[in-house]
Amino acid sequence: MDIERFHVVDIQRGSDEELEARIVSDAEAGRALASRLDGFELRDNVLSVDVSANNTLEDMSVAINQDTDVLTISWRSPSVRYVAQYIEVETTNAKLAELDGKPYAGRRIKVEMNTLPPGRFLPNFQPNAIKISNLPRSITHEEVIALFTGSSSVKRFLVGGFGVIMPDVEQVVRMLRDDIERAASNRLRQFDQPSGTPGMDGVVSVRAHFSSWDEAHVAHTSLSGKRYGSQPVCLRLPDPFTIIVPSEQYTAQKAQWDALMSSIGDRRACMLIVHDAWNIVRTPLSGPAKEAMGAMKVRVENLAKGEMVEGWHRSLCLSNNPFLRRVFGETGAYVRADWKRQSLKMYGAPRAVDLARNMIKNELERLAPLDYTVTFLKG
């Protein structure tokens, strides 16, 4: 994928010591990244991807996150790993290519070469071996040999280490619900049970519904860092309301954003924060007062959506367009050209927008006679 289609905003370590990366992209690239990375196993950890309904750099119209009062909890279902040894390295490589990603019992098994951890030495280590992971615990030696390895030299390992009691899916679900009800007493409205089988990558998810984002956040905080058996849980709770705008748009509208934040009377009931992150600005809105939140959302939407400009010319879509830079420099208004919709939008103070509108009108009139059509005869 072209690296210019996404931007890593930051990488932070959460309270459970797991790393979390925030990525902004266009909608198509975001869906592609999510489909490829969600459930992907990296260094014995499972990546979890949460696609937010926040704005992307491609479409800056305001979007309100869906299900902001729903906490999604995911974890790896219990599984076993087998190590199969072979005499020849060619056979080992062939089995790796044949078995990796093969579906079995509703799961996608993962196969990799058996390698030593960095800095470790084992005198009896066998390099001509493969590790077969994400197998259900019910599978037997005989089934592994017949269905996968073809080699009778196999060893079984319970994922999670020796001496660790691994609860099954039903046990984890019960423990999760009990922990949530203790932390958020009488606040849990609905608890969605997982489907009959885990996902292809062995990941199980449940959804806990609350009456508000704040109630869901209480449960999120109580579960952060918890493990059931040896498996940590991944928690996903969307921001209650967040938009992302280019830094130029925020600069053009800064006085309006400042006035909007200054108008908030009770910051305990409703809070609007601005996070400047390189070439984008995030503005999350949160608070327990639904009426105040609703009114502020409308005002944020009206400010962020900008004003349409009549007319269009394809040259204005050129990257780093000099005319649009000049408009920004001379008037203070930011103009965004949308190639898909073939439209122009302006952002800024009223006087700046009026000046920019006149500049754009004159430029479109100048460009109009420069267009002409050439007809090619069929050869």
List the one residue out of 128, 144, 137, 134 whose CA is nearest residue 96.
128
How confident is residue 53, by pLDDT bands cut at 50, 70 and 90?
very low
Mark whether 313 and 301 lie in a shared domain. no
pLDDT tens digits along 286-318: 777 778 878 888 899 899 999 999 999 988 888
pLDDT bracket for residue 165 (50, 70, 90): low
Is the Cα torsion angle 327, 331, 336, 341 positive or negative in sign? negative
Residue ending a domain, choose from 91, 125, 158: 158
Percent of the chain with pLDDT over 70: 80
Q: What is the Cα–Cα distance from 48 to 21, expressed in whole angstroms?
A: 11
DSSP 132: E
Q: Are residues 312 and 292 in the same domain?
A: no
Residue 232 lies in a domain: no
pLDDT at 147 over 60: yes
Asked if residue 147 and residue 84 are part of one domain, the reply reads yes
Task: Say if residue 311 is in the same domain as residue 296.
Answer: no
Which of 252, 276, 305 is the endpoint of a domain? 305
Would you say residue 169 lies in a domain?
A: no
Q: In terms of domains, do 153 and 84 share one? A: yes
Record the tokens describing residue 378, joined without a space.
């069929």
- Return the pLDDT at 60: 37
- Express each pLDDT in 18-35 by its tens digit: 677 777 666 666 666 765
Residues 6+ apart with CB under 8 A from 206: 72, 73, 173, 176, 191, 192, 193, 194
Q: Looking at per-residue confidence, does 369 or 47 come out higher?
A: 369
355 or 32, which is more confident: 355
Look up the domain containing 255 and give its range.
241-305
Same domain, 249 and 296: yes
SS3 call for 121: coil
Examine the domain organization and report whether 84 and 146 are in the same domain.
yes
Name the residue with higher pLDDT: 189 or 371: 189
- Of 158, 193, 218, which residue constitutes the final position of a domain? 158
Q: Are residue 297 and residue 333 in the same domain, yes or no?
A: no
| Closest C-alpha to 336, from 258, 254, 248 | 248
pLDDT at 98: 92
Q: In terms of Cα–Cα distance, which of 88, 235, 83 is closest to 159? A: 83
Among 177-181, 251-255, 338-342, name the one with the lowest average pLDDT: 338-342
Arithmetic mean of pLDDT, 108-130 = 81
Burial of 302 (0-12, 13-18, 19+ CB in 10 A): exposed
Domain count within the chain: 4
Query: Does one domain contain both 47 and 84?
Result: no
Same domain, 106 and 138: yes
Is 215 among the domain residues? no
Residues 277, 281: Cα–Cα separation, whole Å: 6
Q: Are residues 336 and 276 part of one domain? A: no
